[in-house]
Amino acid sequence: MLEDLASVMFDEEALKEKCRGLGQQIAKDYEGKDLLVVGILKGSVMFFADLTRNIGIPLHIDFMVASSYGNGTETSGKVNIKKDLSVDIKGRHVLLVEDIIDSGITMSQLKVELAKREPASLKLCALLSKPSRRKVDVDIDYCGYEVPDEFLVGYGLDYAENYRNLPVIGVLKREIYS
């Protein structure tokens, strides 16, 4: 089934190793700090779960839902926040976890909004970065992989809410979304 949909870019083992390495670095950097890890849903769910299991220090979690894509393959340019944080972040160390930074629009707007809430620090961890598509510069403090301008699915990434459950990240065949 997978070969009919996409060609594999990152297999399960590569994703597991990347989460382990990022988790170890984050644990080292936040040792002794009040860490709140915020998953940006829905896309980050698989990465978020695997990453947080690899951060070997006490932490708290929360989630936000924000998107600028809807059901398309291109950003609309307008960020829609559907679910906000359920905790106060003032004075806390906040790490945002995102599946992919593409245009940068969603994350740059979220970072501006959250900075107004006076966290002790605000950093970003993204599994994937697609710098060729940037419309807004975004600093990624912890980045898994830089990827080319391809439409990726799996491991939380979707096309019109499909394919999130694939255990790998693959390049979606153009005929599926054209």
Read off the pLDDT of residues 31-76 as tens digits, 9 standing for 90 and up. 999 999 999 999 999 999 999 999 999 999 999 998 665 555 555 5
The token pair that represents 175 in the structure block: 């005929």
DSSP conformation letters of 13-55: HHHHHHHHHHHHHHHHHHTTS-EEEEEEETTTHHHHHHHHHT-
Query: Is residue 168 pLDDT above 90, yes or no?
Result: yes
Query: Confidence class of residue 178 from pLDDT cuts 50, 70 and 90?
Result: confident
Give pLDDT, residue 177.
84
Query: Confidence class of residue 147 from pLDDT cuts 50, 70 and 90?
Result: very high
What's the mean per-residue pLDDT of the chain? 92
Distance (Å, whole) CA 169 – CA 101: 15
Give pLDDT, residue 143.
98
Read off the pLDDT of residues 133-142 as tens digits, 9 standing for 90 and up. 999 999 999 9
End-to-end Cα spacing for the chain: 19
Read off the pLDDT of residues 65-119 as tens digits, 9 standing for 90 and up. 986 655 555 555 667 788 999 999 999 999 999 999 999 998 999 999 999 999 9
CATH topology of domain 2-177: Rossmann fold (3.40.50)
Nearest 5°: the CA angle 58, 98, 125 is 55
**Active-site residue, from 4, 34, 99, 102:** 102
The token pair that represents 176 in the structure block: 């599926």
- What is the pTM (predicted TM-score) of this model? 0.91
Going from N- to C-terminal start, the domains of the chain cover: 2-177
102 is catalytic: yes
Sheet holding 6-10, edge to edge: 6-10, 169-172, 152-153
Distance (Å, whole) CA 63 – CA 83: 8
Determine contact, residues 78/136, Cβ cutoff 8 Å.
no
